Structure 1
């Protein structure tokens, strides 16, 4: 089964299908929710950022793993006979 939800542009995975866009929107919404939740319980800016960075890395890791396993692989180049 071919899953072509993302394509790779450099080190960034961009969505190319509706499911890919939904996953990206969910990841961004969860990131904002996490930041607001951490900010409510924090006492300073540094406390907020220290706790948020770890969660941001985890969200990015999950997004990257999903994108890696569902990316559209480029077609192999054909060998040209000279």
Structure 2
């Protein structure tokens, strides 16, 4: 079964189907939730950013892995 949820444009994976858009929205909402949660427990702006950037990198890595395995590849 071929999954065509994402298409690759340069180094960016764009959603190509409804499932791809749902995954993107979930990733963005989770990133916002993570930021708010970290900000509520941190003591300074730099503390918030240090912890948030690490979590954002993990979210981006998981999004990229899912997109890589479900992208529409061109057959030559």
Scaled by the length of structure 2, what TM-score is found? 0.99
Structure 1 segments (4+ residues) deviating >2 Å:
none
Quote how far apart the aligned CAs of 1:74 are.
1.2
For residues 9 and 74 of structure 1, the distance between their equivalents in structure 2, rounded to whole angstroms, comes to 12
Aligned to 2:70: 70
**C-alpha RMSD of the superposition:** 0.4
* Mapping of residues 12-51 of structure 1, within 5 Å: 12-51=12-51
- Structure 2, gaps ≥5 residues long: none
Aligned length: 76
Structure holding more helix per residue: 2
- Structure 1, gaps ≥5 residues long: 77-82
Scaled by the length of structure 1, what TM-score is found? 0.92
